[in-house]
Structure 1
Amino acid sequence: MARAIHVFRTPDRFIAGTVGEPGDRVFYLQAVHESRVVSVLLEKQQVQILADRMGLLLEEVQRRFGTVIPDDPQVDVSPLVTPIEAEFRVGTMGLGWDADAGSVVVELLAVTDTELDESVVLDDTEEGPDAVRVFLTPVQAREFAARSELVVSAGRAPCPLCGEPIGADGHICVRTNGYLRTPGFDPAAWFGEEES
């Protein structure tokens, strides 16, 4: 069966979003152009990596090509378009700069059991995993990175001792020899330190 490649050359939106409560969130990327919507499922870490790498790519594009990149982008805070039906779970991600179009190119490829040849990324070959390819202006890319940072950081607060996320019921903290930590835990009181 031939692979499906969903291409968005001029998307109205390309955003990261979640469904669910912190600690139990499902992460999606969604590309929208007029009435066409494609959503893919991925991990929180993949969203963070894509946002970080996009920021680095934009810095390099600005340095090498003099492309103007906005410092304070408008962040799209609207929710994902519903109903959300994921096309696939993201396995491999590709990121590049199309100098001719002046666009950041994002490619998201479906998880596959077979080893992936790098030549499949950002290519229209007949064989390979399904993909979503999105072309973003530098402004859209900066907006995507800014929103992604907000989405990732909106999860559970980290434990001040071990850095692991604290759930609604607390968590088992390795720094307190496994005692259950509750969300309102004060490490200064635990260790007898005086607050300054």
Structure 2
Amino acid sequence: MPTKVHEFTWPDRVVVGTIGLPGERTFYLQVRAGSQIVSIAMEKQQSAQLAEKIDEILDQLGTLEGNPFSIPASTPIELVDNDQLEPVEEQFRTGAMSLGWDPSTVQVVIEAYPITELDTDDDESLADVEAEVEVTEMLLVRMPVGTARAFAKRTREVVGAGRPTCPLCGQPIDPGGHTCATPEG
């Protein structure tokens, strides 16, 4: 069966947002072009790392000597998107992701694949089972550098808007209270 690719080459909107209360939030990467909308569930850590790596790529490109690309050092104000997610219909839960740079279009490229479940028998090696796993769909997003910078900024803000962290033990503080798990001296 061929892989269904949800491809967005010049998306109208690409954001990370959440549904739920802090501590119970589900993170979504949502992309829209015209009337086509795809939302994929992600882990909080995936979202944070994606934003960090996008900024790293853009920062590296911005410091390259003789760089022919105009890379914004900060988020262009006209690209800031603080709107809520559009209605979410989860396409898949994200497993593996890759991030790249396409110099021919001056775009950051995100590829996201669904989590795949591996059923193993004792007689099969993990490599044999992975070879049998067939990816049925994926998300491919290409975004210009300004949009990528805005995406990373918003994603960091969304990730940081969760529960506050206890200064003593580093664990999240729930709205109903917190039992600190500091190590006893």
Settle same-fold status: TM greater than 0.5: yes
Say if 1:18 and 1:67 are closer, same or farther in 2 by CA, change over 3 A: same
Query: With structure 2 as the length reference, what TM-score do the two structures score?
Result: 0.84
Check conservation: 2:113, 2:138, Cα contact below 8 A. yes
Q: Which residue of 2 aligns with 1:163?
A: 170
Query: With structure 1 as the length reference, what TM-score do the two structures score?
Result: 0.80
Q: Which residue of 1 aligns with 2:70?
A: 68
**Counterpart of 1:159 in 2: which secondary structure?**
coil
Cα deviation for residue 129 of structure 1 reads 4.4
Q: 1:85 aligns with which of 83, 86, 89?
A: 89
**Counterpart of 1:174 in 2: which secondary structure?**
coil
For residues 2 and 43 of structure 2, the distance between their equivalents in structure 1, rounded to whole angstroms, comes to 26
Residues 80-109 of structure 1: CA deviation (Å, up to 9, x unaligned): 111x11110000111000011111101111
Q: 2:116 aligns with which of 112, 117, 122?
A: 112
For residues 72 and 91 of structure 1, the distance between their equivalents in structure 2, rounded to whole angstroms, comes to 28
For residues 176 and 110 of structure 1, the distance between their equivalents in structure 2, rounded to whole angstroms, comes to 38
Superposed CA RMSD in Å reads: 1.7
For residues 86 and 42 of structure 2, the distance between their equivalents in structure 1, rounded to whole angstroms, comes to 17
Cα deviation for residue 174 of structure 1 reads 1.1
Q: What count of residue pairs does the alignment treat as equivalent? A: 166
2:100 is aligned with 1:96:
yes
Higher relative contact order (CA 8 A, sep 6+): 2
Letter in 2 for 1:11: P
Cα deviation for residue 113 of structure 1 reads 2.4
**Counterpart of 1:135 in 2: which secondary structure?**
strand
For residues 129 and 44 of structure 1, the distance between their equivalents in structure 2, rounded to whole angstroms, comes to 24
**Counterpart of 1:172 in 2: which secondary structure?**
coil
For residues 72 and 100 of structure 1, the distance between their equivalents in structure 2, rounded to whole angstroms, comes to 22
For residues 72 and 112 of structure 1, the distance between their equivalents in structure 2, rounded to whole angstroms, comes to 35
Letter in 1 for 2:75: D
Greater than 4 Å deviation, 4+ residue runs: none
Q: Which residue of 1 aligns with 2:181?
A: 174
Percent identical pairs in the alignment equals 40
For residues 38 and 63 of structure 2, the distance between their equivalents in structure 1, rounded to whole angstroms, comes to 33
Unaligned runs of 5+ in 2: 119-125, 128-133
Letter in 2 for 1:88: F
**Counterpart of 1:61 in 2: which secondary structure?**
helix
Unaligned runs of 5+ in 1: 117-126, 178-196
Cα deviation for residue 7 of structure 1 reads 0.4
